[in-house]
Amino acid sequence: MKPTLLLFLFCTTLHATDFFVNKQGLDSNAGTSRGAAFLTIQKGVDALQPGDTLNIGRGEYAEAVARKGLGSAEKETTIRAEMRGTVLLRGDVDAPVFKPLPGSRNTFEADFTGDVQAVYEVDTLKRLGTQATQAEVEFQPGSSFYDAASSKLYVSSTDLRPVDLHRYSIPVTGAHGLMLEQPKRVVLDGIAARGFEKAVMQTWHTEACTWGIVLKEAKDCVIRHCTAFLNGGGILTRSGNEGGNLLEDCVAYGNISPHGFECGGVVAVAVRNDTLRRCTAYKGGVGVRLYGGEGYGLIENSLGWGNVLDLGIKGGKTGEISDVRDCVALSYLPSHREVVRSIIGFRNTYLDGVKAGTDTSIRLNFERVNRGQEFADPLNFDFRLQSTSTMRGSAPDKSDRGPFPYQGNVFFVKTDGDDLADGLSVKAAWKTVARAAKELRAGHTVYFEQGVYSGDVVIKAENTGPDPISWRARGTARVLMPGAIKVEGGHGIEFERLNFASTVSVTASERVRFNNCRFFADDKALHATHCNGLAVSHSEFTRFAQVGVQLDGCTGVELSSNVYDNRHGPAVTFGVAADVNLALRYSDYNSYADADKAWMVNGQTIALTDARKTAQDIYARELRTVFSLRDGISEVKDRIALAVGGALGKSLGIHQDLMSNALSMSAPTLHSVTATTANIEWQMSRGSESGIAWGETPACETQAKYKVTNDEDTFRNFSLTGLKPGTTYYFKLTSAKLIYPLDDQGPGEVVNPKYEAISFTTKAADPAPRTLYVSTDGSDSASGLERGSAWHSIAHAASQALPGDTVMIAGGTYIEKVRVRTTGTKGRPIKFRSIPGEKVILDGSGRRIETAFVINGKNDIEVDGFYFRDFRMGGQGNCSQRVINVNQSHRVTLRRLLWDGRGAGYSGGLLMGADSSDVLVSNCVIIRGSDGLEVTSCPGFRVEHCVFISHMIEAVKLSTPATLSSNIICDSSAFKAKNNIHFMSFGNQDAIVDRNNCYFLRVPESQRTLYWVLNFKEAGKVLGHTRMTLPEYKKRVAPTDSVVLDPQFAIFERLDPAKVPEFPIDQFVDTKVPLDFPDLFATNPEVVKRSMGLQPEAFADMIKK
């Protein structure tokens, strides 16, 4: 080797430094040894130079860490946990104790002083919706409101139960957890981040979200074995012009935010040769995701479940050339390219027509796959094939479909099995534990179906090897092993979800692991002798009289998130002359029934406070729980005490992440009644369809279905009309069914259903129509009958108005969600109007609120003369929430409304309509919504004299008969237009009337796609989804007098011609140019002649001269 090269290598090594951070350190230390460690991670990250390593000791660090320009292309720089999974960055604090709010059913309050960025329900991994008013918390289960003036925090639980049956945390930092900007060759290893969210949006560089871990403009970086949970977003890399990043073996859960669609689990954006490998994301927004960019990306060997979108690739060239392979996504998995050897729960929305068996992937729902018969343990996400699986040899090349080709390494045992069978499927399961112990070898897994499996078991060294043997209960099976379990000289043996009634002994073994197990022997629960690397997690030790865990001559033991009912003996005993520091590698997040006798060392009882002096059990707690025997198994009677407290935000003791379709409900109540109408209200915990019935007898002869087509709004308000005056009626709920059930977990179990009938009597006659007033300086305790005694909130007026009433709103800005809680009737509509000449603005509070008006189950409602701004796009399912939601309502008019969706973050359209009729949208302006109007199953729907500007995706999205006439629809934003995305889509080409509309295009009409006709039919043939230009539409679908013209909006006359871009609408991309109705009056003589767009005369009483 040349001397110069030797010198270079010597200098490179010489200048690489190991730095240390731990909870015993000081930031004034040098940081170059564990004894002189820094205290904060930020100090350690600031000290790093290219090639250095930062070693972080275990513990929770309440800080946000940021660094720009870390690392170099020549040297690898590392930030690592000394023990993976034990370093937690926290941006949240535990919530205080809540108490019921007097006078409410669902709202609870607590005193809290601090910056409330959000509230998370920790035990359900859900973010509570942030409301603009305290009143809205009562309406919407799973929501919160913070009153900074009074330092009061208000919450409602996600399942309508008291909040003391849940646990909550509050993000307070308002920043990313660990953010590296422009890092190069940086490795993050084994770090976790929790509770990082911000009440308002971040910049677009981080997809408007606040992340647990984020690398921005990263090049050749690696994030591995990292965990992110209960953040706005989990783990993000943005490659920009660099790229080559790898995210592997990362886990993210409970990460979701209203601020952006890409907020979620493990995400790479602006992709350039980036890879997501062996990552898992669940119960969040998007799961594992590649979004946008110009380079190749790959998702492989990854799992997503319980997310809004589980896995997928979208956007730019990346969306066209990147791959998904060997993955499992139990809901949606969108990818433009063929998904290879994967499992898709619902669908690939980009390649919807792929038939089963024509490629290498499995489509669970479309193929109606019986998962229990096909896969090893689908409830616990083990999708290896059973020997009898129909997926074997079913690919076009006769190989096995899915990510896990059959290997014959999974076995099954059930109480009615047969030890003469091969054990390789549930149908051919073995019968006894002894048979399994005899046959299992390294790399094998055995699943036990529910039951009692008697007999002693001895697992010897000759059966084990470098790959583990796994003993597991299948699904949620309660498996009891009353006999003695002995492991002798074993290497790599795992036990999961099993219940041991006798002492379990492990002798002279390595890497033996117990997870989610119950030990309830009368004397010793678990006895380990001369073992190395024993690990026990999320397990429960009860009923023992001597000791929970006895360690004799053991080293490197890990004890985490266990429950010790040590009232009768020490939880953990160390043998004679034991060195605790050598025996225990890690012990923490455990609970002790008696903290005074947590351990016994050399015959001496050690209290938890003294145990902490060894730097163990720092986050352990004293917790007395009540256990009882059920089916011979000792278990906690009420698990809420254990709901949190384990490592990484999980429960103490038994913890099983499962999908649930449980559905809670409240009993119906009468809100108000008139001579011919009644307004009934109730609540559901999730988006659902309710069966309803009413009539003049308790039998409730008239029945119907009531559905609100989004998952976020679960308050139900249904109005009965056409009733007889002075008559007693009965109403009841008859059923409840989830609209969007998770995966295959059934239609939803209704918890404590409320199906009893209520009764009410209609009024003898209706009062005369009233004019009611609302003003920003009013009071909801006033009469509302005069301008001087106006109410304060539009929502209050919407709860009090009666058929025929007109609600006049004074000028000003209103930050609220208006729920229309009473119905109008034919000839007596309820009208919401701005006072002539006064500008009424409904504000979404920086996109914290998703909807301004909610009109569900109502008739004859008019909304006229308002401005809307800063509302966010929200909701889940086929129809998301928009500025105005109209569900199962009739004769609704929306007139003279201006929705300005410009600004940072995602904005929805003006209207989401579903299952309604005769909805009219007239003389409205819709600026830069994602989809201007989204309407499903609304016969009689009309859009006339409206203006659409710079829509992001579609101006109009229709799954309903509709008439569009005399509108001006301008081209979409430049970024989207270059992809030639259509202006409107519809599913029934014969039910759409396109008449006298003006289209303002960037390119000639022969080049610009205007229509996307779903399931297009031509000459008796179904040609599938077909995009068309205006000339093609006229030729192939229907003649129309719609034209392509420049409307020459009035505002152009007031702008400097030198500053107007080639396509003048681009002048309005941001909010620097304010827009009002008169600005968008057309001046092109032909457009004016044909009365296209806004009708100036319609605004005579609304716009000040």
pLDDT tens, residue by residue, 101-142: 999 999 999 999 999 999 999 999 999 999 988 999 999 999
Whether residue 350 lies inside any domain: the answer is: no
The overall average pLDDT reported for the chain is 92
CA 877/CA 868 separation, integer angstroms: 24
Mean pLDDT, residues 870-895 taken together: 81
Residue 875: the pLDDT is 56
Residues 570, 574, 577: CA angle, nearest 5 degrees: 140
Closest CA to 740 of 773, 700, 713, 771: 713
Whether residue 379 is predicted with pLDDT greater than 70 in this model: the reply is yes
Whether residue 1098 lies inside any domain: the answer is: no
Whether residue 332 lies inside any domain: the answer is: no
Whether residue 557 lies inside any domain: the answer is: yes
Judge if 136 and 213 occupy the same domain.
Answer: no
* Torsions phi, psi for 145 (to 5 deg): -150, 135
Judge if 532 and 624 occupy the same domain.
Answer: yes
Mean pLDDT, residues 971-982 taken together: 79
Q: pLDDT tens for residues 1020-1042?
A: 888 888 899 999 989 998 899 99
Pairing between β-strand 728-738 and β-strand 758-761 as defined by DSSP bridges: antiparallel
Judge if 107 and 242 occupy the same domain.
Answer: no
Q: pLDDT tens for residues 946-963?
A: 999 988 888 899 888 999
Report yes or no: 1060 and 1068 within 8 Å, Cβ to Cβ. Answer: no
Q: Which residue has the higher pLDDT, 1065 or 565?
A: 565
Alpha helices in 612-693 (DSSP H): none
Whether residue 184 lies inside any domain: the answer is: yes
Judge if 185 and 218 occupy the same domain.
Answer: yes
Helix (H) or strand (E) holding 800: helix 794-800
CA 207/CA 262 separation, integer angstroms: 6
Q: Which of 608, 641, 657 is the last residue of a domain?
A: 657
Residue 354: the pLDDT is 65
Is the pTM value of this prediction over 0.85? yes
Residue 5: the pLDDT is 44
Q: Which residue has the tokens 């307070």?
A: 172
CA 252/CA 282 separation, integer angstroms: 7
Residues 519, 525, 526: CA angle, nearest 5 degrees: 105
Residue 953: the pLDDT is 83
CA 979/CA 271 separation, integer angstroms: 18
**Which pLDDT band, with edges at 50, 70 and 90, does 463 fall under?**
low
CA 455/CA 251 separation, integer angstroms: 38
Judge if 934 and 948 occupy the same domain.
Answer: yes
CA 189/CA 251 separation, integer angstroms: 12
> What CATH number does the domain containing 38 carry?
2.160.20.10
Domains: count for the chain: 5
Whether residue 873 is predicted with pLDDT greater than 50 in this model: the reply is yes
Q: Which of 602, 636, 657 is the last residue of a domain?
A: 657
Please, which residues have CB within 8 angstroms of residue 990's CB and are 6 or more apart in sequence? none
Residue 351: the pLDDT is 67
**Which pLDDT band, with edges at 50, 70 and 90, does 8 fall under?**
very low
Q: Please give the structure tokens belonging to residue 72.
A: 């170099």
Whether residue 350 is predicted with pLDDT greater than 70 in this model: the reply is no
Closest CA to 891 of 837, 954, 826: 826
**Which pLDDT band, with edges at 50, 70 and 90, does 315 fall under?**
confident
Q: Please give the structure tokens belonging to residue 84.
A: 């993976």
Q: pLDDT tens for residues 50-82?
A: 999 999 999 999 999 999 999 999 999 999 999
Judge if 881 and 998 occupy the same domain.
Answer: yes
**Which pLDDT band, with edges at 50, 70 and 90, does 745 fall under?**
low
Q: DSSP assignment of 730-774, as one string? A: EEEEEEEEESS--TTS-S-PEES-----EEEE--SSPPPP-EEEE
Residue 349: the pLDDT is 65
Residue 983: the pLDDT is 86
Whether residue 421 lies inside any domain: the answer is: no
* Torsions phi, psi for 1069 (to 5 deg): -60, -40
Residue 879: the pLDDT is 43
Judge if 847 and 987 occupy the same domain.
Answer: yes
Mean pLDDT, residues 372-379 taken together: 96
Q: pLDDT tens for residues 786-843?
A: 999 999 999 999 999 999 999 999 999 999 999 999 999 999 999 999 999 999 999 9
Judge if 873 and 1007 occupy the same domain.
Answer: yes
Report yes or no: 304 and 346 within 8 Å, Cβ to Cβ. Answer: no
Classify 438 as helix, strand or coil: helix
How buried is 62 (Cβ within 10 angstroms: 0-12 exposed, 13-18 middle, 19+ buried)?
Answer: middle
Judge if 866 and 749 occupy the same domain.
Answer: no
How buried is 867 (Cβ within 10 angstroms: 0-12 exposed, 13-18 middle, 19+ buried)?
Answer: buried
CA 884/CA 866 separation, integer angstroms: 12
Judge if 44 and 131 occupy the same domain.
Answer: no
Whether residue 212 lies inside any domain: the answer is: yes
Would you give the distance in Å from CA 3 to the centre of its chain? 58
Residues of the domain holding 702 = 663-761
Q: Which of 321, 342, 369 is the last residue of a domain?
A: 321
Classify 650 as helix, strand or coil: coil
Residue 14: the pLDDT is 52
Whether residue 319 is predicted with pLDDT greater than 50 in this model: the reply is yes
Report yes or no: 426 and 450 within 8 Å, Cβ to Cβ. Answer: no
Judge if 179 and 291 occupy the same domain.
Answer: yes
The count of residues in the chain is 1105
Residue 984: the pLDDT is 87
Q: Which residue has the tokens 């929306």?
A: 894
> What CATH number does the domain containing 846 carry?
2.160.20
**Which pLDDT band, with edges at 50, 70 and 90, does 454 fall under?**
very high
Residue 1: the pLDDT is 44
Which whole-number Å values give the CA distances from 924 to 266, 832, 906, 952, 957, in the listed order?
40, 15, 20, 18, 16
Judge if 572 and 701 occupy the same domain.
Answer: no
Whether residue 615 is predicted with pLDDT greater than 90 in this model: the reply is yes
**Which pLDDT band, with edges at 50, 70 and 90, does 323 fall under?**
very high
CA 403/CA 555 separation, integer angstroms: 38
* Torsions phi, psi for 462 (to 5 deg): -65, -15
Whether residue 306 lies inside any domain: the answer is: yes
DSSP 16: -
Closest CA to 653 of 558, 571, 564, 539: 539
CA 825/CA 257 separation, integer angstroms: 39
Report yes or no: 401 and 361 within 8 Å, Cβ to Cβ. Answer: yes
SS (HEC) of 461-481: HHHCCCCCEEEEECCCCCEEE
